[in-house]
Structure 1
Amino acid sequence: FLSAGRGIVIHTGSCKNVAEFRKRPEKWIDVEWGRAIDTEFPVEVRVDVANRLGVLASVAAAVAGMGSNIENVRMEERDGMTSAMTLVLDVRDRRHLAHIMRRIRAMESVMRITRTRG
């Protein structure tokens, strides 16, 4: 439905507002959803970690355990006690990324994780 001030607004056929909109067919725009996207998208995250033996392996295992792949990784030592990891992850969607970030955030060596790009 083409709405003044809001642009295109999409309603399902069962929406209670559809009955009212049917009175104005000139405002209707036919749309249909394409097939589900079956691909992954690269997303860059930064993970601030304590410098501990095996921390990179632990983060990589958590990512793999969530069904994702690491395309690229960079580590930068900060102050001798901490490092910043920049990971490019392949994710299916925002929900998949959120699950991965929650899993990493819960790790003992992780101080912070943020999405930086993608």
Structure 2
Amino acid sequence: IVGIVTTGKGVTIHTIDCDTLESFYNAPERWLDVSWDAGVDTVEDHVGRIQVTISNEPGSLGTLTTVIGKNGGNIINLKITSRSVDFFEILIDIDVKDVKHLTNIIAALRAMPVISAVDRARSR
């Protein structure tokens, strides 16, 4: 996350890949390094949301859930958002320790042949 000093508003928080940050490219003096206040001893889980495109074939959903579980993630919500003869698009909320944990799960999923695409889902 990144903080941007905004006149009249204080500091607004954005993810590093937010499109809004492009408008502040030439104003580095307005950028602030910020982070969530998580203590060293914090063991709190966070929810990561991913968008997955998976082959519509026997065992593919089992593969998906097994990879998430073997990588220490816990699925707390799963929603099929689109389906066709060949593919399903699924939104999945996963309990993870931090962004690195979520990134590792995404990498493991991308390595599976039944999975066509995996990305972090962004709320807009």
Shorter-chain TM range is: 0.5 to 0.7
Structure 1 residue 44 and structure 2 residue 49: aligned? yes
Alignment-mate amino acid for residue 57 of structure 1: G
Alpha carbons of 1:65 and 1:6: their partners in 2 closer, same or farther (altered >3 Å)? same
Q: 2:12 is matched with which residue?
A: none
Alignment-mate amino acid for residue 98 of structure 2: D
Q: 2:71 is matched with which residue?
A: 66
Q: Which structure 2 segments of 5+ residues have no match?
A: 1-28
Structure 1 residue 95 and structure 2 residue 84: aligned? no
Q: SS of 2:121's equivalent?
A: strand
Structure 1 residue 53 and structure 2 residue 54: aligned? no
Please say which of residues 106-115 and 70-79 is displaced more in the overlay.
70-79
Higher strand share: 2
Bigger-Rg structure (1/2):
1
**RCO higher in structure (CA 8 A, sep ≥6):** 1
Cα deviation for residue 117 of structure 1 reads: 4.1
RMSD over equivalenced CA pairs, Å: 2.2
| Percent pairwise identity | 24
Divergent runs of 4+, >3 A: 5-9
What is the rounded CA distance, in whole Å, between the counterparts of 1:92 and 1:52 in structure 2? 31
- Equivalent residues of 1:43, 1:117 under 8 A apart: no
Cα deviation for residue 86 of structure 1 reads: 1.1
Q: Which structure 1 segments of 5+ residues have no match?
A: 10-32
Pairs aligned (count): 91
